[in-house]
Structure formats: C-alpha cells, structure tokens
Amino acid sequence: MSQLLSNQDKMEKLVSLCRRRGFIFPSSEIYGGLSSCWDYGPLGVELKRNVKQAWWQAVVQKRDDMVGLDTSILMHPRVWEASGHLEGFSDPLVECKSCHLRWRADELKGDVCPSCSGELTEPKQFNLMFKTFMGPVEDEASVVYLRPETAQGIFVNFQNVVNTTRKKLPFGIAQIGKSFRNEITTGNFIFRSREFEQMEIEFFVKPGTDKQWFDYWLKERLDWYLELGIKKKNLRLRQHTKGELAHYARECYDIDYLFPMGWSELEGIANRGDFDLVQHAKASGKSLSYLDEESNEHIVPYIIEPSAGVDRSVLAFLCDAYDEEPDKDEIRVVLHLHPALAPYKVAVLPLSRKEPLTKVAEEIYADLRQCWMVGYDIAQSIGRRYRRQDEIGTPYCITIDFQSLEDKQATIRERDSMKQLRIPISELSNTLAAKLSGEAFEILPPGGSYWLGF
Ligand code: GAP
C-alpha cells in the first residue's frame, strides 16, 4: 500500500471511481437521485455477483451441512409481531419544533437542532420497517412490511427444510436477498442505505453445543474475508456489551472493518438461542421442534447466526483493494481485487486497430468469453489501456502485437507486479485458468518465456 493516500480522501476517490467507471450510480440520478439508494452499473454488478458467489460457494456449495433458501420479501404481518420487530425495531427520534427536521436522539451531541438551533421535542420511538399495503384496499388490515432482515424467512421455513431435506443437527440454512430499513441516519456511500442486500446463515445446533459452534463461525467468517484478500490489520472482532445486545441475542460479536470513516460493522455473528423458533411456534401454533434420534426427544435447536451485508462487503473489498502507486511522473490507480472478485478476469488489447491484428484479438476475445468475463479495449495507447484495466481491478491483460501474427504468441501482463510473459496463443486459456486459481505468475506454460523487464 502506498503512502500517497490519506484515509480522508480515499472514500471520495472511491465514490468518484465507482461513478466514472460504472461500478455504482446514485439511484434515479436523472431525477436528482433518491437519498441513500444506489444502482450497480455494469462493473459493479459483476463485483457484487462475485462477492455473493464466493459466499455461496464457501457456505453452501462446499459444505454438506448447509442448504440454501430464497424466501419472499413480503411476509405475513404476524411474523414481525412474533419476531419482536413491530415492538422493538425502532430508533429514538426527536423533531425540531422550528424546521421540523428529525434526528436520532442517541446520536445528537447537544440538546438543540443541529441545523437551526431550534428547540427539540421529547424522543419518540420510530419503527424502521417500511410499510405498504397488500391488495387494492389501503386499510390497517392490509398492511404488510418489506422485510428488514432475511433471517425470518429462514425461521418460518425451518420445518419445511427439515421435512424435505432430512438434514440432521447441526445444519444450516443460507439465504441472500434484499432487506429494507427506513434508516434515519444513512450515508458513507453504500455503507448504510435503506435498501440493501444481506447474506445470512441460520445454523441450527443442539443446545449445549452452541458456544462451540459460535466460536467456530467467528473464525470461519473472519477467514472468509482474509482469504479473499482483506488485510488482517483492517479486520477486528468486537464483542457486544450487555447493553448493546439485540433482544434475541445471548452473545454477539461484530466483524468490524477499518473503513475510511473508522472501524464499523461488516458482519454480525449472534447466538440467538431458541428465541426465534420458540416465538414462531407460540405465535403460529405450529411445532418448530426437531426429533433427536439419539434421545428420541423433541428439542428446539439453538441458532448461531452469521449475518453479513453484501453492499458493506463490496465497499470493504473496494476500500481494501484501492491503491495509488507512484509511476514515473504520474500515479497508477490500482484495485488489487482478488481474482475471484474482479469484474473482468482478463482484458484483450490488440496493439493496433487494424486488420489482421484485430481479427486475431477478436477471436481470442470470443474464445475466452466462453469461460470468463473478459474486457476488450482498442482505444488509445497500450500504456493508457493498462492503466484503465488496473483501475477496475482486471488481474491480467493480453496484448496482441504484430509479432503475434508471425510467432502465434501473445503477451500476458499481471496487474499487481506489471510483469509480463510471452506465451503461445494456444496456451492462453490453460494459463489463465491456472493463474486465476492461484498459480505463481513466474511459472511458465509450455513454449512460454519471460518478457522484457521481468
Ligand atoms: N438478522 C440479523 C441482522 O439483520 P444486523 O446486524 O441488523 O443483523 C446484519 O444486520 C448485516 O446487514 C450488518 O452487519 C450489515 O452488514 C448489513 N446491514 C444492516 N443494515 C444495513 C444498512 N442499512 N445498509 C447496508 N447494510 C446493512
């Protein structure tokens, strides 16, 4: 990491890069934007999909004790009564008697309105759930809520999953999906918004083994971020104090990331005990227990919940990857994204816009696209094109030059070291596959050689 960049302007630069290169746009921008809502552009959607895929692979695909689920955003309103959200999912708000702006009482520094110094009302609880109406009549009976977390969709399907998969304890259910919270204080780009995506695991265990599984998931989830390239010094575990614990939690830790605005929550890991299954069984009148074959007794499992934010993870990966390096008289902006997360895995760059070079390049581009997301750039000098790919985190660039027409070889350049290899075009796919799965760049494929300045 270079010393050129201070934390203060890192966020500003990232927001500008995301906007300029098509990662993230303000929502409804042509109408002036919609506060704290964001649209993912062509590169952002790839990055976000890659984050979700890396999570799904780690927590579902590669394990035999996890299954997935995709539940609806609108749920029966009684779900939110039983879960405690109708009663307790609120922030204390005060209103200015002069300008009528509202503020979070627990975040205010003084006792007057920060905007106009007007007198403030007494705090009132403000529920964070978005309300809407189901069907054509807008009355109290048709009120439904946009879910504020995906977790409840998992709890209410516990019995369905047990019956259809015959999973034995301990096992988990994973879900990725949109959640909505009418947050009072938003900001810091995509860190806190009103519409966001969560990646949640509800891991069901026998009571008494919950502490051991809680510790297991703390380590597992921390390792996931480290394996995808987040620097250890930028991650920490923070235990919730008794006063901070949510109404359902027996124990909770946050995985915090050192964002440019300071240490902030990336993921929460909670021991929810049997709170949710007991509550939903009581409210619905349906049994949500599990027949333990060893003891032949019905038990209510305890739940360990690692709950991560997709958007916050995207922001953390971007912050951690962003760097500015001195480069002769200029500055090279690089996103050192892990190859699994990079929007494009490779870009094909023909040295000239003319035939027959472009024909060869287009054939390679078409061929590699069968396996990966691939960029193609023919505009301006090769140096500028490398910089453009560095800035969006493309791990490898392939250059086709006039010599390629003679020797049927191309140059492959690594983003981080900027080193280059000359390799047979016929070896490109295999070489890329090997490098993208972690092979050292120095290892040459058959017929390959080190290129200038290696
Ligand atoms: N089911 C438990 C639960 O929802 P949470 O700590 O409220 O717990 C989990 O949320 C994760 O969801 C957070 O760690 C964060 O990554 C993400 N998240 C929560 N509120 C968010 C918001 N307003 N904007 C973006 N991400 C949010």
Whose alpha carbon is nearest atom 16 of ligand 1? 309
User: Of all atoms in ligand 1, which is nearest to the CA of residue 200?
Assistant: 1
pLDDT digits (tens, 9 = 90+) for 99-124: 878 888 888 888 898 989 999 988 88
Residue 424 contacts residue 412 (beta carbons within 8 Å): no
Ligand 1 proximity of 39 Cβ (cutoff 6 Å):
no
Q: Is residue 276 over pLDDT 90?
A: yes
Of the listed ranges 67-71, 226-230, 233-237, 355-359, the least confidently predicted one is: 355-359
Interatomic CA distance for residues 107 and 99, integer angstroms: 18
238 C-alpha vs ligand 1 centroid, how far in Å? 15
Average pLDDT over residues 183-190: 86
User: Of all atoms in ligand 1, which is nearest to the CA of residue 150?
Assistant: 1
Percent of the chain with pLDDT over 70: 98
Interatomic CA distance for residues 115 and 2, integer angstroms: 39
Q: What pLDDT is stored for residue 1 in this prediction?
A: 46
Average pLDDT over residues 427-439: 97
pTM of this prediction? 0.94
The pLDDT-based confidence of 7 (bands split at 50, 70, 90) is confident
| Sheet (strand 420-424) strand order | 374-376, 346-350, 396-400, 409-414, 420-424, 449-450
59 C-alpha vs ligand 1 centroid, how far in Å? 18
Percent of the chain with pLDDT over 90: 83
- As a three-state string, the secondary structure of 167-214 is CCCCEEEEEEEEEECCCCCCECCCCECCEEEEEEEEEEECCCCHHHHH
Q: Which of 361, 33, 310, 275 is nearest to 150 (CA)?
A: 310
pLDDT digits (tens, 9 = 90+) for 352-389: 998 899 999 999 999 999 999 999 999 999 999 999 99
Q: What angle (nearest 5°) sits at the alpha carbon of residue 122, between those of residues 120 and 124?
A: 115
Q: Is residue 292 over pLDDT 70?
A: yes
Whose alpha carbon is nearest atom 4 of ligand 1? 149
Residue 340 contacts residue 313 (beta carbons within 8 Å): no
* Mean per-residue pLDDT over the chain, rounded: 94
Question: Around 350, how many Cα atoms within 13 Å sit in the side-chain half-sphere?
Answer: 18
The pLDDT-based confidence of 5 (bands split at 50, 70, 90) is low
Tokens for 121? 């009302």
User: Of all atoms in ligand 1, which is nearest to the CA of residue 309?
Assistant: 16
Query: Which residues, 6+ apart, have CB-to-CB distance to 213 below 8 Å?
Result: 170, 203, 205, 304
Q: Is residue 392 over pLDDT 60?
A: yes
Average pLDDT over residues 422-428: 98
Cα separations in angstroms, 179 against 129, 197, 199, 318, 378: 10, 6, 10, 22, 41
Interatomic CA distance for residues 285 and 277, integer angstroms: 11
- The single-letter code of the amino acid at 293 is E
Average pLDDT over residues 320-339: 94
User: Of all atoms in ligand 1, which is nearest to the CA of residue 312?
Assistant: 16
373 C-alpha vs ligand 1 centroid, how far in Å? 30
320 C-alpha vs ligand 1 centroid, how far in Å? 20
198 C-alpha vs ligand 1 centroid, how far in Å? 7
